[in-house]
Amino acid sequence: AKMAEVNESNKPLFAGLSDVSISEDIPVEGEITVPVGSPIQDDEYSTLDEPVKETIMRDLKAVGKKFVHVLYPKKSSALLRDWDLWGPLLLCVTLALMLQGGSADSKDDGGPQFAEVFVIIWFGSVIITLNSKLLGGTISFFQSLCVLGYCIMPLTVAMIVCRLVLLGNSGNIGFIVRFIVVFASFGWSTFASTAFLADSQPPNRKALVVYPVFLFYFVISWMILTFSPS
């Protein structure tokens, strides 16, 4: 019995596999393939072959939806999730052009120059964003720039209204109308921006974040209210 056990232990591990026969009827050929994502799913997210017109229209629709979010501010992550800087750039350029007091060679302009407005808006947005991050905010840098830029829209509309009022009446009644419009737009911009940024800040530091936002929109509102055409 011991000799039999020794002989069994000396046999190769897979010695019995040579006696196994495979029927010729069983197919043994095939292909090894690696599963990949569905081409339909890939095409859904691919815009490389998309016409330029469709790309522009899709971006314009996205910008329009963000304008709607600013008009009806609520605690939504849509403006933060799908951030972009096209809308803020458009609003900044429009506001800067509207605040142009006159020609660049004129020394008696009634308003700031294009570069001054552009720098004030973007530099102020960057400072507010850095302040938010230093206070422990969870919002990203470009998300904050997106929110602050889109919330300039009420003030841009106020600037257009003020220019129209100045064309018709530049007296006391015109000033009162401009003051009411600018004040309402200032409150709307501040309220809309804080509605989007409030949840990204620590509860005990929200006031420290809202105060710079208040000053930022106040400076822009003051430039609009004190504007007088050359």
Contact 155, 217 (CB under 8 A): yes
Q: Which domain holds residue 155?
A: 83-102+110-226
Q: Is residue 10 part of a domain?
A: no
Q: Which helix (H) or strand (E) holds 62?
A: helix 52-71
Instruction: Decide which of 104 and 173 is more confident.
Output: 173
Q: Is residue 215 part of a domain?
A: yes
Number of domains in the chain: 1
Section 85-113 average pLDDT: 71
Q: Would the pTM of this model clear 0.85, i.e. be above it? A: no
Could you tell me the pLDDT band of residue 102, with boundaries at 50, 70 and 90? Answer: very low
C-alpha–C-alpha distance, residues 128 and 118, integer Å = 16
Q: Is residue 169 part of a domain?
A: yes
Q: Is residue 158 part of a domain?
A: yes
Q: Is residue 182 part of a domain?
A: yes
Where do runs of H (alpha helix) occur along 73-228?
78-81, 86-98, 114-134, 141-150, 153-168, 172-197, 206-225
Q: Is residue 11 part of a domain?
A: no
Report helix, strand or coil for 77: coil
Q: Is residue 51 part of a domain?
A: no
Residue 216 has pLDDT above 90, yes or no: yes
Least confident piece of the model among 21-30, 93-102, 183-192, 196-205: 21-30
Mean pLDDT of the chain: 75
pLDDT digits (tens, 9 = 90+) for 48-95: 677 777 878 887 887 777 777 777 776 555 556 777 888 888 898 989
Q: Is residue 42 part of a domain?
A: no
